[in-house]
Structures are given as structure tokens and as C-alpha cells.
Structure 1
Amino acid sequence: MDESPPQEPRSLRERKKRQTRQRISDIATLLFRERGFDKVTVAEVAAAAGVSTMTVFNYFPRKEDLFLDRIPEAAALFAGAVRDRAPGEPPLAALRRLTLRLLDERHPLGGVGETLPPFWRIVAASPALRARAREGLDEVETALAAALTEAASADPGVPAADPVLLAALTIAAYRTVVTASLRRLSAGDPVEEVAEDHRARLGSAFDALERMTG
């Protein structure tokens, strides 16, 4: 007779893993904000979270990923917007809708929010974080290019723009809009005013992308 303990449902196991990952990231972020990214070790994060250093690295391959922990989510969101778009919806329309939703939800990836300037000041102060942030943009761009390539192959109605170029232009445009909003927030401009300008800039950016792709 098999006396091994019953297996947890996959959904429960996955939920526990997500909760553990989030707890480690939250504690790391708190420590980094208090003391600076370069002055906190992974071992200290592990001790504060009550896990082993190996456990931390199981969830976050690099120390920088403890702070920039939304890179995989960003890649999944941008690629998913293309893959999961409504039938007949152009990819750029789906991406426009995604970015507006992130803005409306004040999502951390949306580019507008009171907590964002302090977060990005920490990134700016660390060469390692700045390098990882650039890599993260490349990862999002690569994921989006793959989704756009699939869309062009599967749907003859999708404009025949170079998917790699379109992904690069889309991410560059979005980064430009977000950077402008972060500068205004850092200068003390009201969040709602910045959000309105952000919305208008997004509209202009996607209008330009749509004109370029015909």
C-alpha cells in the first residue's frame, strides 16, 4: 500500500510558490530601499525571509531579479496581448489596449504611480540594476517579436511589417512615454495630470506606429 502523503493540487502548489516568490521579493525590496541595493546581500534577504539562500536563487537567478522581479510579467503581458487578442483585432490595437489598461489600473508596469520615482531612483543608483533593466527590455522585445511573428504567420490579415522591427519600435515608444511620465512624477507633478498626459502620449505613439505599418 502506498503510504506517501497525498499530492497537493497543482493549483495550490503553484499558488504557494507564487506567494513565496512575492514574499521574498517584497522583503528584498524593503531592504534595498532602506540600505541601498549594493549594500544588501542575498544571504541577508534569505535570512529576513526565513528561507535558504538556495531557495532565493531557485526563484530569482540573479540578485538584480529580486528588485526587477516584473520582467517576466512584462514579457508575458506584451506577448499575451498579441496572442490572446480578439479575432480580427490588429496586434497594435491589442497592445494599445494593454498599455491603457495598465495605466488605468495604476499597474507598476503602467508608468504612472506615486511609488515609481523612488523605485527607479534605486535602479538609477546601481550600475547592476541599470544593466539588468536594459536586458529586461530586450527580453520583453524578444517575447513580443515572437508573438508578432506567430500572428503574421497565422493570420493573413495581419500587416506584413517586420515583426522584429515592429517589436523594437513598440517597446522603444512605450519606454519613451514611460520615461517622460517618470520625469514629471519625479518633479512633483500631480499623478492625475501626469496620467492624462501619459494617455495622450500613448495615443500619439500608437497612432504613429499604425501609420508606419499601414
Structure 2
Amino acid sequence: MAVTGDAQALPEAQDGRQDGLDHLGLALLGTSAASGPAVLGDAYGDVGADQSEVENRLAAWVRTRPRGTTPTAAVRDGVLSALAQGDPTLGLSKEADAFWHIVDESSSLRARTREIAERSEAALAAALAEEAAPGDPLPRLLAGALAGTFRAVVAEIRRKLAAGEEIEAVRAEVTAAAGRMFAALDRVSEDL
């Protein structure tokens, strides 16, 4: 079942509202672990992403990084690569605005994006903790900073595209800003 932004084409919700969005459920909401759009369709199939991949992406970048690469550099490289490749989970497309409009109109879809982001951050914290001393709070703090930066990248893309900026200009500006932010965070992850 594909969903469009046309409220008339959506089924009536159980509470009688016409938007029908609050009951769509997980199969119809695909977002990045940091709340970026992946797909609004069945089981993430339109972009070949599944929920587990999306939620564990940041942790996977850390776990599979080359020897000698800091965790922050691994996440930075993953984000910059996703930006360069136009990864649909970042929402770097004109279609993303329609997706976010649907999400914004549904309290359950907004809650679902937060839940996915929280799971992503927890998975990243667990990956970082694998390399730290037991009880060290730095992995959780760094995971919050890295996941927060990822969410901010997606939010900035969303804000700029909604303001009518061109995709390539947004990509260039967000890539530069993300690079600067990750450079600042990298000094922290050297201690991990």
C-alpha cells in the first residue's frame, strides 16, 4: 500500500478522522535512525532498506571502521558518503517534503521517528561501549553527540528543502557544516 499526501485517498482512522495516518503503523513508516525519510510504503522496500539496517547504521559504521579510525571519523565518513550518494534515508530529494508533511500530521508517526532515533542512539552507545572500560559514561555521551549530529544533518536538509533551496546547494552546504561538526567531535572520540 503506497501512501500519498492526498488526505482524500487515505482510509478513515479508527477515531473517525479522515487523515487515517495514526493507524498506518511501522510497515508504512521508514525513517533513518536519526529521523530522516527512507520510504513511505511497505516494509522499506522502495529503497531496499529494512528497519534493522536503518536503526543500526551508525553502530555498523563504528563496528566496521578501518583500524586506526576513530568512531567519530567512521560516522563522519558514513554521513558524508550518504550525502554524496544521495542516500534516500537522508531526505535529500524533493519528494521528502511530502513525506515529512505526512509525518508532521500524525502523532503516531512523529513518535515512531523518535523511537527509531532512540534505538539508533542506543545501538551506537552499545557499539562504543564495546571499546571502553566498563562503566565509562563516555560511550553514551559520545553516542548522543554523534546521533544528535546525524539528526541535525537530516533536520537541516529538511529545513532547507522546505524553504525551496536547490538540492545540490543543500548537499554542499550541509556536507561542509557536517564536516566541521564531526571534526570538533573527533577530538573527543580520540579518548575512547
Same fold at TM > 0.5:
yes
1:82 aligns with 2:68: no
**In structure 1, distance between residues paired with 2:25 and 2:168:** 31
The superposition leaves residues 92-120 of structure 1 with CA deviations (integer Å, 9 ceiling, x where unpaired) of: 11110100111112112234222211111
Counterpart selection for 2:83 from 83, 103, 106: 103
**In structure 1, distance between residues paired with 2:163 and 2:129:** 40
Amino acid paired to 2:122: T
Post-superposition shift, 1:37? 9.8
1:137 aligns with 2:117: yes
**In structure 1, distance between residues paired with 2:24 and 2:141:** 31
- The one of the two structures with greater contact order (alpha-carbon pairs below 8 A, sep at least 6) is 2
1:147 aligns with 2:127: yes
> Sequence identity, in percent?
34
Contact in 2 for aligned 1:99/1:110 (Cα 8 Å):
no
Unaligned 5+ residue runs, structure 1? 1-26, 42-61, 154-159
Partner of 1:21: none
Counterpart selection for 1:204 from 176, 180, 192: 180
- Alignment coverage as a number of residue pairs: 161
Unaligned 5+ residue runs, structure 2? 14-22, 32-50
SS where residue 74 of structure 2 aligns?
A: helix
Counterpart selection for 1:64 from 14, 25, 37: 25
Say if 1:38 and 1:172 are closer, same or farther in 2 by CA, change over 3 A.
Answer: farther
Partner of 1:168: 144
Contact in 1 for aligned 2:5/2:101 (Cα 8 Å):
no
**In structure 2, distance between residues paired with 1:84 and 1:132:** 27
**In structure 2, distance between residues paired with 1:37 and 1:126:** 16
- Please identify which structure carries the higher helix content: 1
Counterpart selection for 1:127 from 97, 107, 115: 107
1:189 aligns with 2:165: yes
Partner of 1:33: 5
**In structure 2, distance between residues paired with 1:170 and 1:125:** 28
SS where residue 31 of structure 1 aligns?
A: coil
